[in-house]
Amino acid sequence: MRILICEDSTLLREGLIRVLEDAGHTVVAALPRAEGIVETVTETAPELCILDVRLPPTFTDEGIRAALDLRAQHPSLPVLVLSQYVEERYASDLITGQNAALGYLLKDRVADVRDFLDSIDRIAAGATVLDPEVVAQLLTRRARDERMSRLTDRERSVLALIAEGKSNAAIATALFVSEASVEKYITSLFQKLGLEQDEHGNRRVLAALVHLEHGTPPAGGHPDQNGTLR
């Protein structure tokens, strides 16, 4: 896979290059700041971009603004944003944007190379992958919403795992239930949240969590023939 990195920390940037190239990926560019990133994407045609949230010169939101610009100008380009801390507002901005594949992970996750590379593969394949800490905050802040209160404990567990980008099979393994049971839980919780399933099911759940207190969440299309969320 062709990957572009935008990270100001030389140590982390070089570490990412090493991890990715050792896994067989090609790093087409490694930038220390966000200036010119859209042009570099056009020139190098990466298949995925990894950006830090906070970049020079102000170290506030340059990275997230660059990610949003990329998603506007290259709507099909998968983007993975790395953050030092949970910054829910930034995750919300990305989730409610375009339909392209998305990842938002804490930098600590890079240390678990196997999981990090798995996240890279899932994002490139079209999934939305959020850090479990971000998911926990989204769920906690929406817990008092009347629609969220309709969910059983098991449905909340399934919802959290969907939001982390887990497949039905992975959810079944994590909860020690069958995939058929997972599909039933998913159908139930989508109905309770007023959502329709589609090929971007996990992303729809995230958008719902962001918008629950602001009215009816966005509707989607239809599930695939197996009811599987991607």
- 125: alpha, beta or left? (left if phi > 0; alpha if psi -120 to 50): alpha
Residues 157 and 95 in one domain: no
Arithmetic mean of pLDDT over the chain: 80
pLDDT above 80 for 210: no
Residue pLDDT, tens place only, 84-100: 877 767 666 676 655 56
Q: 45-49, 128-132, 158-162: which has the highest mean pLDDT? A: 45-49
> Each residue of 40-66: b (16+ CB within 10 Å) or e?
bbeeeebebbbbbbbbeeeeebbbbbb
Domain end position, chosen among 100, 117, 140: 140
- Percentage above 70 pLDDT, the chain: 75
The yes-or-no verdict on residue 39 having pLDDT over 90 is yes
Task: Give the Cα separation of 192 and 67 in Å (integer).
Answer: 32
Same domain, 36 and 124: yes
Looking at residue 68, its pLDDT comes to: 85
Q: Can you give the pTM of this predicted structure?
A: 0.71
Name the pLDDT band for 216 (thresholds 50, 70, 90). very low
Residue 129: what pLDDT?
A: 84
Rounded Cα distance, 182 and 228, in Å:
9
More confident residue, 190 or 49: 49
Residues 86 and 168 in one domain: no
Position with higher pLDDT, 134 vs 125: 125
Residue 53, domain member (yes or no): yes
Q: Residue 104 above 90 pLDDT? A: no
DSSP 131-166: -HHHHHHHHHHHTTSTTGGGS-HHHHHHHHHHHTT-
Residue type for position 121: D
Q: Which structural domain, as residue segments, surrounds residue 163? A: 151-214
Instruction: Let me know if residue 230 belongs to a domain.
Output: no
Q: What is the DSSP letter of 218?
A: P
Task: Name the domain count of the chain.
Answer: 2
